[in-house]
Amino acid sequence: MRAISYTRATDVHSAVEAVTSDPGSSFLAGGTTEVDLLRLDVLRPHRLVDINRLPLTGVEERADGGLLIGALARMSEVAEDPAVVERYPMLSQALLLGASAQLRHMASMGGNLMQRVRCAYYRDPESACNKRVPGSGCSALEGVHRGHAILGTSEHCIATHPSDLAVALVALDAVVHVEGMDGARTIPVDDFFLLPGDTPEREHPLTPGELITAIEVPALSMARRSLYLKVRDRESYEFALASAAAALALEDGVVREVRLALGGVATKPWRARRAEDVLMGERADDAAFTRAATAELAPATTRPMNAFKAELARRTLVRALRTVATTGGGTA
């Protein structure tokens, strides 16, 4: 194994400076992705900058009634936070349906947003992969692509974004707080994830060394009636084949406000704006839910092995909407 040096940062500035000044460095949070890929020789940092001592933990109340979640808060801690469970059930459910209990105790919120793609070709240094080696080709296009994306794809990459958390955050219009050598800035979570286009190796708008410090979830009273529904090959410990985050505000059975996002089917956490537009002002019934889901999946580009995902995503979105409309959310 290659030699890797390790330093532990004690403040945000020194952590940012350490990685910015040395492009061969990488932040280390829970290590559940970073160490995994380092062992596979897919990531090759020569120095890890451990950020676990930085004061970026906890869930804090904001003046507007929203929450500021520290980048180093653990997935399990946030999933069980009473304010998250009560005000944003879809967020709590998305976290609890991700990975395993052991991983959720280790894995941080910032690390979850920055986790790498789960495409098997990306994780195999012998395979062509434009994300790992730009310009080398995409083995998934003609290879095994059952789990791959049908929305937001390009001829250069069809990998799905793996994070469940990010799907809920994009539906909630959350904002990512980051800090770099030029100071702090915020990025709406929908802009934080880039489509692959011609540059699949570029997944975020971060400059090298920029650190996620927190995730801000704005106040949204309708999110109390919300759901994250995840469909996967196994009941637990598995990434989504299709998932849906849904929040609904109804008035006399009519949709007054709606927030929707899809996971497991797109190259980024997918805000389902077409479906939202179809539903606004409609009666909250199965016919409208089906029209909305069909509109969202209309631009899907499928391949032989993942063609089933268009119908699966449509049904997942309809079921999520029906559940929120009839029960207010609860468990998926």
Ligand X SMILES: Cc1cc2nc3c(=O)[nH]c(=O)nc-3n(C[C@H](O)[C@H](O)[C@H](O)COP(=O)(O)OP(=O)(O)OC[C@H]3O[C@@H](n4cnc5c(N)ncnc54)[C@H](O)[C@@H]3O)c2cc1C
| Whole-angstrom distance, CA of residue 70 vs CA of residue 86 | 19
159 binds ligand SF4 (CB under 6 A): yes
31 binds ligand X (CB under 6 A): yes
| Whole-angstrom distance, CA of residue 119 vs CA of residue 253 | 42
Number of residues binding to ligand X, judged by CB under 6 A: 29
Closest of 115, 103, 92, 106 to residue 268, by C-alpha = 115
122 binds ligand SF4 (CB under 6 A): yes
Q: Do 68 and 23 form a contact (C-beta atoms < 8 A)?
A: no
Residue (71 or 258) nearer to ligand X, CB: 71
240 binds ligand SF4 (CB under 6 A): no
Q: Give the residue, chosen from 108, 130, 226, 306, that forms a contact with ligand SF4 under the rule CB under 6 A.
A: 130
Q: Give the residue, chosen from 49, 79, 138, 174, that forms a contact with ligand SF4 under the rule CB under 6 A.
A: 138
Residue (33 or 139) nearer to ligand SF4, CB: 139
110 binds ligand X (CB under 6 A): yes
200 binds, among ligand SF4, ligand X, none (CB under 5 to 8 A by kind): ligand SF4
Q: Do 108 and 76 form a contact (C-beta atoms < 8 A)?
A: no
CB of 249 vs ligand X, minimal distance in Å = 27
Q: Tokens representing 204?
A: 């975020």
29 binds ligand X (CB under 6 A): yes
Q: Do 159 and 118 form a contact (C-beta atoms < 8 A)?
A: yes
Q: Give the residue, chosen from 158, 171, 175, 272, that forms a contact with ligand SF4 under the rule CB under 6 A.
A: 158
Plot region of 237 (φ>0 → left; ψ -120 to 50 → alpha; else → beta): left
Q: DSSP alpha helices (H): ranges in 28-181?
A: 34-39, 75-80, 82-87, 89-96, 101-106, 109-114, 164-171
223 binds, among ligand X, ligand SF4, none (CB under 5 to 8 A by kind): none
Q: Do 177 and 212 form a contact (C-beta atoms < 8 A)?
A: yes
Residue (30 or 200) nearer to ligand X, CB: 30
Residue (162 or 225) nearer to ligand X, CB: 162
What is the side-by-side strand order in the sheet with 5-8? 5-8, 47-50, 25-28
Residues at the contact surface with ligand X, assessed by CB under 6 A: 26-34, 36, 71, 98-99, 103, 106-108, 110-112, 114-115, 162-165, 211-212, 239
